[in-house]
Amino acid sequence: MSENNKALVRRWFNEVWNQRQARSIDELLAADGVIYGLIENAPMKGAAEFKKFHEVYCGAFPDLQIVVDDMIAEGDRVAIRCTVKGQHLGDHLGLKATNAPVEFSGMAIVVIRDGRIVEGWNNFDFAQMNKQLGLNASSAAEAARQT
């Protein structure tokens, strides 16, 4: 089971993020799946909500690439450590494109049942991303609320 779950998580990062295939969200995220930690104060529930977040980030960083640096699986859980890279080329996140390159780290724990992601717990260094974009803490919080 662990190897199949790791393969599913690799597909998630490759297809959903690196190839920006929004249609893969419907296939890989359970209808009642919940994603935590990517937007302030609220989990995202289901594919429709996650697609809105995905659209904003892919619009802001059309060349976004996520490199999975480490992956560990046990039972129905997969933990990953990754590096996110891109250039802020789109007028998204509540600010005009800065053309600034970003590189920051992140970690996630994903719970998989019946071949789909049912929970995702995320911790990404958005403070580092915001710093690279020239945002201060208050403008970064406002940008996050607009996603």
The CATH number of residue 127's host domain is: 3.10.450.50
Per-residue pLDDT, 140: 45
pLDDT for res 40: 81
Tens-binned pLDDT, residue by residue, of the chain (147 aa): 789 999 999 999 999 999 999 999 999 999 999 999 998 878 999 999 999 999 999 999 999 999 999 999 999 999 999 999 999 999 988 889 999 999 999 999 999 999 999 999 999 999 999 999 998 755 544 554 555
Q: Which domain holds residue 72?
A: 2-145
CA distances from 67 to 12, 52, 84, 103 (A): 12, 22, 6, 11
CA atoms of 122 and 65, how far apart (whole Å): 17
- DSSP-assigned letters across all residues of 40-77: TT--EEHHHHHHHHHHHHHHH-TT-EEEEEEEEEETTE
Indicate the number of domains in the chain: 1
The overall pTM is greater than 0.85: yes
- Residue 83: strand pairing partners: 67, 105
Q: Tell me the C-alpha distance between 52 and 64, whole Å.
A: 16
Distance (Å, rounded) from C-alpha 120 to C-alpha 12?
11
Q: Residue 21 and residue 24: Cα distance in Å, rounded?
A: 6
Predicted confidence at residue 143, as pLDDT, reads 52
Distance, first Cα to last Cα, the chain: 34
